[in-house]
Amino acid sequence: MKKRISILAISILVAFFAMSQPLTTAEYHSLLMWVGGNTNTTMDKLDWTQSKLGAGGMLGVGYQWQKKLFAINTGLEISFQHRSLSISDAEVSQTMLDTERMPFLYRGWIKDRTDNMNMLDINIPLLAGVQGKAAYFLAGLKLSINGYTWCQQSALFSTDGLYDRFYDPLVNMPNHGFHDYQPTSTNHSGWLGAELMASAEVGILIPTKKENTKIRLGLFADYGLYQYNVRISNQQGDMLETDWSNFLRLQLNHAYLSSEGAKAIINNLNLGLKLTIQMQYGGHYPCLICRWNHRKFN
């Protein structure tokens, strides 16, 4: 199996470099503008979370320097990512006193919980690779700085009260704070820090009517290598708090922002499609004849 994968990878590289023949020996400068869309997932080592497929998009502007086949890209990119986690069912409890000062155990069950995170990031890519007449490949690093993050946690929550003097727990008594499964949600926002990602992009070049303008259509992948974050929290993921009516209510903290999950190492993965407009605005040629030949025949 590994041998077949190696043969396939070598075949793809040979075909790619056959397409990536240099235009000339000139030095080019280009303005880049791109838009992209992707799906995403998150990997962690927590046994009580399961990542769902999310989605995102990006807009960017940048610069490319190229000589022969070799090209370097950099720029500024604004990215929006929606990430989602499924959380295992859980139980919470707390000892309380009722209005008659009688002690009882307040119990709650949480199910069908989903933690959503909407992230607005500013990315700075630095990519290097090859670009020819028909294809290109770029790889490198991308620094992602979180601009703002909105979190929402939603679940179904059921409660009852367990008294020593009663054989059965008290249920379905909303005026005492006991109810069957009901929707509950919590929202908050914050800043998560920065992330260093490995990035790669491969695709084709589509010619246009304008000689100095090309369209690149490619597949890209971003994988989080390291996070410098402020996710450390002293708050639990599931918290019971007293509300204005002296009943308990459930407060949900995002899994990665809770005391149980804040120190977990997480790796974000984005896979998507990117459309780039490349506008060449300058080139350096070794002589006037070369420049004349380039304009006449290319």
179: its two tokens:
């109810």
Per-residue pLDDT of 187-197, as tens digits, reads 989 888 999 99
Ordered by where they begin, the domains of the chain are 2-87+113-155+186-233+253-297 (2.40.160.20)
Per-residue pLDDT of 96-110, as tens digits, reads 887 788 898 999 999
The dihedral over CA atoms of 10, 13, 15, 18, expressed in degrees to the nearest 10, equals: -130
pLDDT range class, residue 288, cuts 50, 70, 90:
very low
CA nearest neighbour of 240 among 232, 228, 229, 248:
248
> What is the pTM assigned to this prediction?
0.81
Q: Report the alpha-carbon distance of residue 117 to residue 156 in Å, rounded.
A: 19
Query: Mean pLDDT highest for which of 5-14, 198-207, 225-234?
Result: 198-207
Per-residue pLDDT of 133-148, as tens digits, reads 899 999 999 999 999 9
Q: Report the alpha-carbon distance of residue 65 to residue 242 in Å, rounded.
A: 61
DSSP 2: H
Q: Yes or no: say if 83 and 267 are a contact pair by the CB < 8 Å rule.
A: no
* Main-chain dihedrals φ then ψ at residue 105, nearest 5 degrees: -100, 115
Pairing of strands 193-207, 49-67: unpaired
Q: Report the alpha-carbon distance of residue 252 to residue 238 in Å, rounded.
A: 5
